[in-house]
Structure 1
Amino acid sequence: MDFVKNTFEAIKARAHYLRNWRLFYKWSIAAGLVGVLGGIGALLFSYTLDAITPLFDSVAAALPDPRLIAIIPAAGGLLVGIIRHVWMPEAFCSPCATDAMIDIIHEDGGRSKFKVPFVTILTASITLASGGSAGRECPTALIGTGFGSISSTIIEKLHLDKLLGFSFTKDDVRVLAVCGAAAGIGAVFRAPIGSALFVTSVLYIYGMEYDLVLPSMISSATSYLLFSVFYGFEPLFNAPFIWAFNVFDLSVVLLIGVLASLVGILYLKVFYGIFRRFRSMAMPDWLKPALGGLLMGILVLFIPRVWGMGYGTIQDIIDLQLALPMLLLLVIAKILASSLSIGSGGAGGVIAPSLFIGAALGGAVGTMATQLFPGAEAHPTLYVIAGMGALYASVGKVPLSTAIILCETTRNYTMIIPLIVATTAGFLASGTSTIYESQHADATRETADILRRVPVERVMAKDPFVLREDTSAQDVLRAVGTSGHHGFPVVNDDDHLVGVVSWTDARALPYEERATTPVSEIMTRELIWLRPTDSTRTALDMIEHNKIGRVIIAEPDGKRVLGVVTRADLINAYSEWISAT
């Protein structure tokens, strides 16, 4: 008996081992494809930005008076507004590109319109090339998500899953969208590990989707390698110092984390105040980015360093090139500049501005700390980078991935402990305040919901009792007695679903009309149905929202009825799953 039991356990262990290899094989192909396409998308974005920037630079150089520089971001905003109005008007409703990316993953199941990545490449390139105070990381994440959706379409249309021997479901479409975002971020940040963690955690204020880390890592690493072949493997920022354990440094970065949360909350209030102000303006949406660009351009006349992405200024702050008054001024100025550029409808992201603001804050706190304690063993460069991480962690709610990304972008992994201290402090002190309105609250609660993970085809009653269009109302009532159900799908002569009828529909007729009235005259034609791959949570939500007793399960085209699932079916199945676990 023990021999049989031990053999069974060995087979189970072996099956689990093989299952892991099958998953690795599957994601090596699917996520690898996304990594290649996402890397190409990042290259297209970078090449487009590199091609458009000289055009705006030449216009700026030709201005008769340097004080007219404000018309450059205004002109860029006007072009972006027109392009969005014509091809992607829904983009005006998203505060930034990462919000649009999160919506695609959470609300659309990873399905993105084909035009989204290409329109985003063009509009984001124009915004940044014309001096918009925004970043390229959020647009690249959205571009990557679009290419992740395209990858799913390629797999489905070419039947690559069947040709190469792996399964591909509706849920995998969402996974590839996440992989696409990781590919985009991993390429432009030169940070494959942190980017994979970033996209699996930025979807939520708390927690992350751990089961998506492997495919995201494959996609991000592939994209990073492809992108770096063309743009080099050099770090994004240079921070050449070695950090050893130091209580003074940890105390300073902890203080920076707390202060960054306060500045982050200020950033959110200004950003969303300007965003909502522009949304409520009584003027066409396509004109609003031009107005935002003009106001930002006027600010540039007084503080030129808020122009563009600001990576050069961030490096200057890291190199301790700016004085304390300028650092404090840049904190406020960059908040205003990025809020005007992005909040008015410009195509850009908030990651680079957040890093800029955080760098200025960290540099200011570090400068004051070293002046107050001249004898302390300090690392001022560390304080700048800690400020970058703490500020973005406080508004983006991604403390761990931000710390790792900054280690990767500087190739300085000795900073990991103080960076985690700073980002965790910023994250905790800022509470639930987030710059991404599309973030869901808690990943743990959502992934713990077993109904989200089980397709409705595992619960539905197959070969359901259906009625024809010419069935009489009286026969409907008889069917209630023989089947025990109170509602039925109705099909036509081609067995295509055309409606649904319930016993209340039939009973509402006068008694003398029930025998002669066909179902086609009393049935409901506004169909509520699901595909077999939809989740049981979707089925239960649909039943509760529409106050119905059952949902029809049909083929993807909605024509042939495959089954019916009732509230009782879902409750019984849920009870069995809970007891089994």
Structure 2
Amino acid sequence: MPTPVDRAVRTPVLWLYAVLTGLLAVAVTSGFRALIGAVEWLSTGHTGSLVEAARLLPPWQRALIGTVGGALAGLVLAYGNRWAARDAQGGRYTDYLAAARAGAVDLNDRSTWVRSVSALLSVGSGASIGREGPMIQLSAWLASRLARAVALSPEQRQVLLICGIACGIGSVYHAPIAGVVFVLELALGFLSAPMVAPVLMAAATAGIVNHTLIDPAPLYAMPAVPLESSNLGLALAAGLVCGGMGWLMLDWVDRLRGAFKRIDSLALRLGLGGLLAGSLSAFVPEVWGNGFSTISHLLNGQILWPWVLVILAAKFAATLFNTGSGAVGGMFTPTLFVGATTGFSLAQIAGHWLPPEAVGDPLTLAVIGMSAMLSAVTHAPLMAIVMVLEMTNQFQLTVPVMLACGVAHAISTQFGTQPMYGNPIEARH
């Protein structure tokens, strides 16, 4: 017998609102990217890749910009959180996943604005964090505002929020299928068949607009890499290594958050995180930003092997400092960065001990490492598999990617650490 949710989602009106949500998601993510470029220009005098901007600055200025940007982002959070707390009618939830897991849609308006401005200042000044967090938050917030503004049932409003999250993910990463899997695996924690249709419509709309008006290429366009029998053995190794590194990343972020919380002032807290990460960027400019441009260069064979290890160590530490200090942003792209450089490095090291035909193309292991690391940190292997294959268009690597993600997930979950986005099942109890 159909449930209230079943009946609610099978209405053409909701499908139309789902399509509108997809359009809004593309608009808000594109607008946020433009604002990041404006903040980058104000802080560095340059636009485009943050890594290229960092290379054009003297080392001391990289450290200074990171420190000042972090302090300003902390000030916005400190005063903005007080302002948001006074808005009794603004909505209960500050996090889109918490709202989705609770079956609610009342995202706090002021908190969303405050966190978005703080993220702009951090990301635009070179913080080693992802920009996807505030983009998805804004997409979900717009969906929640739409849901509250029109005549919909509570079940339909919940579905519309889920659509907003899926569209945000799909729009940011040019991966609409991964956006759908993300909400089913991480926001809901289960497969709800009736919800799939409107979520698919919303994600497909965002994907079509992105492909037509913004960029038809995959996010990480790269030459096709071959699938070889040797990939399975190295995929197993990548899963083991990335599983351990994913656990370390989660554990150290948690420890650093506890250490930074001893500093009462948010401005000092985020400023210190910016100083530590900025100091690393004085020696390794690739530390700046979310890591997108460096991943792209690596996947197209434009970075020499010994330097990859240096970048990996510096980026790993900088991400821990910025995230641990409480900077608003995401860990998706930095996690992909760590996975890509880890997989590439593993292939290079294996090449010293194994014949070339047993190792294959190092870029193959870079792609496998991206998915394995994402699986380890999110504890969402299905999403990691689909997302990386969509982003790189390397679907021929499906089997080794599945193996690596399964192993990485198994290793990372053995130690009891909380995943990047928490546990959707526990959140419902």
- TM-score for the superposition, normalised by structure 2: 0.86
| Per-residue deviation, residues 247-295 of structure 1 (Å, max 9, x unmatched) | 21011111101110101111112111111111122x3123321121111
Is 1:212 matched up with 2:195? yes
Aligned 8 A contact 2:95 2:107 in 1: no
| Per-residue deviation, residues 119-162 of structure 1 (Å, max 9, x unmatched) | 3443222211100001112222211211121111121xxx3xxx
For 1:29-428, what aligned pairs fall within 5 Å after superposition?
29-58=16-45, 66-88=59-81, 100-107=95-102, 109-155=104-150, 159=151, 168-203=152-187, 207-209=190-192, 211-244=194-227, 246-281=228-263, 283-376=264-357, 378-428=360-410
Call closer, same or farther: CA 1:64–1:74 in 2, change over 3 Å.
same
Call closer, same or farther: CA 1:120–1:369 in 2, change over 3 Å.
same
Query: How far 1:386 moved relative to its partner?
Result: 0.7
* d(CA) in 2 for partners of 1:151, 1:38: 12
Call closer, same or farther: CA 1:227–1:47 in 2, change over 3 Å.
farther
Secondary structure (helix, strand or coil) at the match of 1:203 reads: helix
Structure number, greater radius of gyration: 1
Secondary structure (helix, strand or coil) at the match of 1:435 reads: coil
Task: Report the equivalent of 2:90.
Answer: none
Task: Report the equivalent of 1:467.
Answer: none
Call closer, same or farther: CA 1:222–1:102 in 2, change over 3 Å.
same
| Per-residue deviation, residues 43-74 of structure 1 (Å, max 9, x unmatched) | 2211111222111122889x995323211011
Call closer, same or farther: CA 1:172–1:64 in 2, change over 3 Å.
closer
Bigger helix fraction: 2
Bigger strand fraction: 1
Call closer, same or farther: CA 1:78–1:30 in 2, change over 3 Å.
same
Secondary structure (helix, strand or coil) at the match of 1:262 reads: helix
Query: How far 1:199 moved relative to its partner?
Result: 2.1
| Per-residue deviation, residues 202-250 of structure 1 (Å, max 9, x unmatched) | 237x655554333222222222333444422222112221534x32101
| Per-residue deviation, residues 367-394 of structure 1 (Å, max 9, x unmatched) | 1223322242513211001101101111
Q: Mean alpha-carbon deviation: is it higher for 80-89 or for 391-400?
A: 80-89
Call closer, same or farther: CA 1:231–1:52 in 2, change over 3 Å.
farther
Aligned-residue identity in percent: 25
Query: How far 1:25 moved relative to its partner?
Result: 2.3
Q: Mean alpha-carbon deviation: is it higher for 133-142 or for 226-235?
A: 226-235
Secondary structure (helix, strand or coil) at the match of 1:233 reads: coil
Unaligned runs of 5+ in 2: 47-52, 86-92
| Per-residue deviation, residues 477-504 of structure 1 (Å, max 9, x unmatched) | xxxxxxxxxxxxxxxxxxxxxxxxxxxx
Aligned 8 A contact 1:111 1:174 in 2: no
1 or 2 for the larger relative contact order (CA 8 Å, sep ≥6)?
2
Aligned 8 A contact 2:223 2:300 in 1: no
Aligned 8 A contact 2:77 2:266 in 1: no
Call closer, same or farther: CA 1:170–1:117 in 2, change over 3 Å.
same
Call closer, same or farther: CA 1:99–1:252 in 2, change over 3 Å.
farther
Secondary structure (helix, strand or coil) at the match of 2:106 reads: coil
Call closer, same or farther: CA 1:291–1:406 in 2, change over 3 Å.
same
| Per-residue deviation, residues 413-439 of structure 1 (Å, max 9, x unmatched) | 222222112112111221153433642
Call closer, same or farther: CA 1:208–1:433 in 2, change over 3 Å.
farther
Secondary structure (helix, strand or coil) at the match of 2:105 reads: coil
* d(CA) in 1 for partners of 2:209, 2:148: 22
Give the counterpart letter for 2:15 in structure 1.
S
Unaligned runs of 5+ in 1: 1-11, 93-97, 160-167, 447-540, 542-581
Task: Report the equivalent of 1:548.
Answer: none
Secondary structure (helix, strand or coil) at the match of 2:391 reads: helix
* d(CA) in 2 for partners of 1:145, 1:401: 19
RMSD of equivalent CA atoms: 3.0
Give the counterpart letter for 1:76 in structure 2.
G
Query: How far 1:28 moved relative to its partner?
Result: 1.6
Call closer, same or farther: CA 1:109–1:58 in 2, change over 3 Å.
same
For 1:485-524, what aligned pairs fall within 5 Å after superposition?
none
Aligned 8 A contact 1:271 1:335 in 2: no
Aligned 8 A contact 1:103 1:438 in 2: no
Aligned 8 A contact 2:385 2:402 in 1: yes
Query: How far 1:107 moved relative to its partner?
Result: 4.0
Aligned 8 A contact 1:363 1:380 in 2: yes
- TM-score for the superposition, normalised by structure 1: 0.65
Give the counterpart letter for 1:186 in structure 2.
G
* d(CA) in 1 for partners of 2:344, 2:29: 31
Query: How far 1:355 moved relative to its partner?
Result: 0.4
Aligned 8 A contact 1:36 1:226 in 2: yes
* d(CA) in 2 for partners of 1:129, 1:242: 34
Aligned 8 A contact 2:96 2:107 in 1: no
Aligned 8 A contact 1:202 1:208 in 2: no
* d(CA) in 1 for partners of 2:332, 2:83: 22
Call closer, same or farther: CA 1:339–1:363 in 2, change over 3 Å.
same
Is 1:28 matched up with 2:15? yes
* d(CA) in 1 for partners of 2:176, 2:389: 11
* d(CA) in 1 for partners of 2:84, 2:344: 35
Task: Report the equivalent of 1:476.
Answer: none
Aligned 8 A contact 1:140 1:181 in 2: no
* d(CA) in 2 for partners of 1:174, 1:280: 37
Call closer, same or farther: CA 1:385–1:91 in 2, change over 3 Å.
farther
Call closer, same or farther: CA 1:176–1:280 in 2, change over 3 Å.
farther
Give the counterpart letter for 2:76 in structure 1.
I
Task: Report the equivalent of 2:49.
Answer: none
* d(CA) in 1 for partners of 2:396, 2:11: 31
